[in-house]
Structure formats: structure tokens, C-alpha cells
């Protein structure tokens, strides 16, 4: 039985690798070779990557692609996307070109408020807590000034602090519910620093005024940001929805609206529908050095805000005009974090014209909307697998270690045949026999 190791973090990178491959792999030389081939030969660049996280042993690469021809509010973008899933970049690019010819995407930022909370338990009655909070609220803000002064100079800072009574849900439970404006910063460290100062002041004042009958449980930002909203939409005359000779523009519009309506009422469909949106969103969020896990959590919570998980996108036909739109919460940053450290993140942001956080919110939302449009277009016309499996063909051929000549023959063959794992295997066997 494998025994735990003491002091793993203190080992050198080589020491970590040697212990891992000798302990968990049958062919330790092969396992070590795989890790080493992904270690950057530029020592300074590798050291930079090593210091992003703890216990680094190598680098894990994802493809960085670009989806061109996105017209957003009259400005042309090529959008960077870091993702491993076949057909995502191609689908986004196709949707971008489709809407470029129909006026492009229209976007606007609705609000940019971010949230943090201090959670505490107090054994005093609610009226006493309310009076106590009203008395100390100015001091909470004042004693955080050393943290907020630089943000305030740029136009951001603490927007408000409210007391929330949650005692009906849990005895003695209250919150300091604080709202913030963090401008171009993602703001996680800023918000958490403010919250911890609030908690310190709260506890000190409670010990003085409330006889120690208050205990702070924790202080932490929320990744649910329903008031940090961006809207993206496309629209055109129904008659302009002509791109598939097998379906009329009117029938296509009708099916698109029906498909979205199903996702608005059926959670099983809504989850997959929204996952497709996140294919586009996550890829851009990751490429620009933002926290895609936080974005995912906040957006999915928003999709369930009325008690049932629903579609994030909406569609309608009114007066002969087809409109497809989405409003989502997006807390993003273009300064801080990896934005000034990771070379490819810096490259991606320059590609986008060094956007502000608000501009990036709009670009990311458009990528999600485009991805969803592309998916629904396939689902309601040819089916999703035709395009997806042709894109997946390369992955299958690589699994079978097909040569360049074999790949060329198989690509030609599957232009007129259905792609599946077994079909590719059979075709490759026949090819090699001949």
C-alpha cells in the first residue's frame, strides 16, 4: 500500500516528479518524459508559470484559437478562445460571420455592482442589532479607508453596507451585505480585504457594546453578482434568416423560438443549452486570465434565480423581426491577477484592443450568445452531430496514430460519409490493408 509523503512541497520540482513517477506509474521513464516535454525551455518563462500555483510539476496546455469577424457595436473583433472541445471555435466563427452580414451584435453593460458579505451570529434581539449597526456603519467605512483610498481615487470603492436579518432561516444569523465598484479590476482581493476589516471593526465594537454576544463566522466575497449585468443581442428581419436551402426563413425563425422556449421551461434541456453558452464564455474568460469557475457559478445561479433553472438566452419574432438576446452576470477584470503576468493573457487582451472591464464583459457575452445561436441553428436544421463529428474527426485519427497521408485520405472519405469512432477505425483498417 502506498504511504503518504511528508514534506512534498519542500522537494525540488525534479524531486516531486521522481517521487510521483516512481510511486504511481509502471513505466516511470515514460511518465517522466511526458511531463518534461511540456516544461518550457525558457527558464524565466517556466519560473513564471511555476509560481502561479503550488507544487508545479509541468504545464498543461490548451489550444488557443481565434474566432474572427465579430462585429460588436460597430467595432470589429477577433476573439481569443482557450478551449479543448472540437467545433466551438468554428461554430463561434460561423455565427460571427452570419451576424456580421446582418448588422452585428449590440451590447450594453446594465450594472457593475459586486457583492461581499460578513456572516455573523448574534444572541441579541433584532432591534438591538439594527440600532447597533446604524451606529457603527460610518465607522465600518471609515476604518477601511486605508484599503479603499486608491480604488476611490479611480472612481470605485464601497457602494453600501446593509444589515440583513437571516434569523428566520437560522437562529441568530445576520449578514453585513456590502456592495462594491471595482472598475477594471476583478476585485476579489480588494473586496475580501474590505470585508475582513469590516469583520474586525464589527467584532471590536460588539465586544464593547454588546457584551461579546456576537461571533463572526466568516468574511468572503460572493460570486453571485446579479447586479453586475451585461446584455447582448442580435436581430434582423425574418426574411434575412436564409442560410439553409432545406428550411425557409420563417420556419427557421419559428424553430429557433421554439427551441429557446423549451429551454426556458425544461431544466434537463436548459442545463445543456446553457452549457453551450458557457463553451463560448469560458473559452474567452480563460484566454483573458479571468476566473472561469467564478463566472460559471454566478451565471448558473442566475439561471435559477426564480426558483427553476432556465435558459439564459431568449428569442422572439415581432412585426417580422427576429430577436435573440441574453442578459447575464459577469464579474471580470482587465488589470491585476494574471493579466500583467501571463504572456498569452497579455497577448489576448492586446488582440482585443486592451478593453476595459466593461468592454470585456460585452465581448464575453457576445461569444456566449454566438455559441448558443450556432448550436441552436444546427439542432433545428441539420442536427448537432454532423458538424461536431467532422470537427472531431482529427481527434479520432490522432487516437489511431494516422499518418499525414492517411489523414488526407480519411478527410476526403468522410466528406460524404457519417463520422463515428467505429467508422473511422474501419476506414483506417481498410486503408492500411490496401
Task: Tally helices (H) and strands (E) across the chain.
Answer: 15, 10
C-beta separation of 234 from 324 below 8 A: yes
Grid look-up 425574418 returns: 238
Q: What is the dihedral of CA 122, 126, 130, 132, to 10 degrees?
A: -50
Which candidate in 275, 300, 314, 316 is catalytic? 275
C-beta neighbour count of 378 within 10 angstroms: 18
C-beta neighbour count of 92 within 10 angstroms: 31
Determine whether 291 is an active site residue.
yes
Which candidate in 114, 291, 359, 392 is catalytic? 291
Which candidate in 119, 342, 388, 392 is catalytic? 388
Question: Three-class SS of residue 175?
Answer: strand
Which candidate in 13, 18, 49, 85 is catalytic? 85
Determine whether 124 is an active site residue.
no
Determine whether 388 is an active site residue.
yes
Determine whether 85 is an active site residue.
yes
Distance in angstroms (rounded) separating the CA atoms of residues 405 and 418: 20
Computed over its alpha carbons, how large is the radius of gyration of the chain? 26
Distance in angstroms (rounded) separating the CA atoms of residues 81 and 78: 10
Grid look-up 520540482 returns: 13
Nearest in space to 93 (alpha carbons), one of 79, 83, 108, 75: 79
For 171, what's the count of Cα atoms within 13 Å in the CB-facing half-sphere?
Answer: 1
- Catalytic machinery residues: 85, 275, 291, 388
Amino acid at each position: 500500500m502506498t504511504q503518504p509523503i511528508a514534506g512534498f512541497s519542500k522537494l525540488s520540482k525534479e524531486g516531486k516528479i521522481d517521487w510521483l513517477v516512481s510511486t504511481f506509474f509502471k513505466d516511470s521513464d515514460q511518465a517522466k518524459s511526458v511531463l518534461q516535454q511540456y516544461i518550457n525551455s525558457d527558464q524565466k518563462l517556466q519560473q513564471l508559470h511555476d509560481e502561479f500555483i503550488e507544487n508545479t510539476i509541468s504545464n498543461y496546455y490548451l489550444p488557443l484559437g481565434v474566432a474572427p469577424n465579430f462585429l460588436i457595436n460597430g467595432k470589429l473583433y477577433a476573439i481569443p478562445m482557450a478551449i479543448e472541445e472540437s467545433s466551438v471555435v468554428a461554430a463561434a466563427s460561423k455565427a460571427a460571420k452570419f451576424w456580421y452580414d446582418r448588422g452585428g451584435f449590440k451590447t450594453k453593460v446594465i450594472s457593475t455592482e459586486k457583492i461581499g458579505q460578513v456572516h455573523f451570529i448574534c444572541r441579541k434581539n433584532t432591534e438591538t442589532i439594527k440600532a447597533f449597526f446604524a451606529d457603527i456603519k460610518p465607522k465600518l467605512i471609515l476604518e477601511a479607508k486605508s484599503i479603499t483610498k486608491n480604488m476611490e481615487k479611480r472612481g470605485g470603492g464601497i457602494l453600501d453596507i446593509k444589515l440583513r436579518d437571516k434569523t428566520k432561516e437560522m437562529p441568530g444569523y445576520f449578514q453585513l451585505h456590502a456592495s462594491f465598484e471595482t472598475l477594471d479590476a476583478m476585485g476579489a482581493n480588494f473586496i475580501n480585504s474590505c470585508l475582513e476589516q469590516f469583520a474586525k471593526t464589527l467584532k471590536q465594537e460588539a465586544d464593547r457594546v454588546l457584551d461579546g454576544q456576537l461571533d463572526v463566522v466568516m468574511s468572503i466575497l460572493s460570486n453571485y453578482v446579479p447586479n453586475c449585468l451585461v446584455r447582448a443581442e442580435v436581430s434582423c428581419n425574418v426574411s434575412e434568416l436564409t442560410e439553409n436551402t432545406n428550411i425557409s426563413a420563417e420556419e427557421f425563425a419559428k424553430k429557433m423560438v421554439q427551441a429557446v422556449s423549451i429551454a426556458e421551461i425544461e431544466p434537463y434541456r436548459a442545463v445543456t443549452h446553457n452549457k453551450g453558452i458557457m463553451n463560448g464564455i469560458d473559452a474567452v474568460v480563460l484566454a483573458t486570465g479571468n476566473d472561469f469557475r467564478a463566472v460559471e457559478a454566478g451565471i448558473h445561479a442566475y439561471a435559477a434565480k426564480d426558483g427553476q433553472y432556465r435558459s439564459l438566452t431568449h428569442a422572439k419574432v415581432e412585426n417580422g423581426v427576429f430577436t435573440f438576446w441574453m442578459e447575464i452576470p459577469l464579474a471580470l477584470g482587465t488589470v491585476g491577477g494574471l493579466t500583467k503576468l501571463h504572456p498569452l493573457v497579455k497577448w489576448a487582451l492586446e488582440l482585443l484592443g486592451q478593453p476595459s472591464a466593461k468592454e470585456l464583459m460585452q465581448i464575453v457575452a457576445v461569444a456566449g450568445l454566438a455559441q448558443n445561436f450556432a448550436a441552436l441553428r444546427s439542432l433545428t436544421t441539420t442536427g448537432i452531430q454532423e458538424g461536431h463529428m467532422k470537427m472531431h474527426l482529427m481527434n479520432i485519427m490522432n487516437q489511431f496514430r494516422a499518418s499525414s497521408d492517411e489523414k488526407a485520405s480519411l478527410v476526403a472519405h468522410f466528406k460524404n460519409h457519417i463520422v463515428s469512432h467505429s467508422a473511422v477505425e474501419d476506414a483506417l483498417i481498410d486503408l492500411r490493408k490496401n
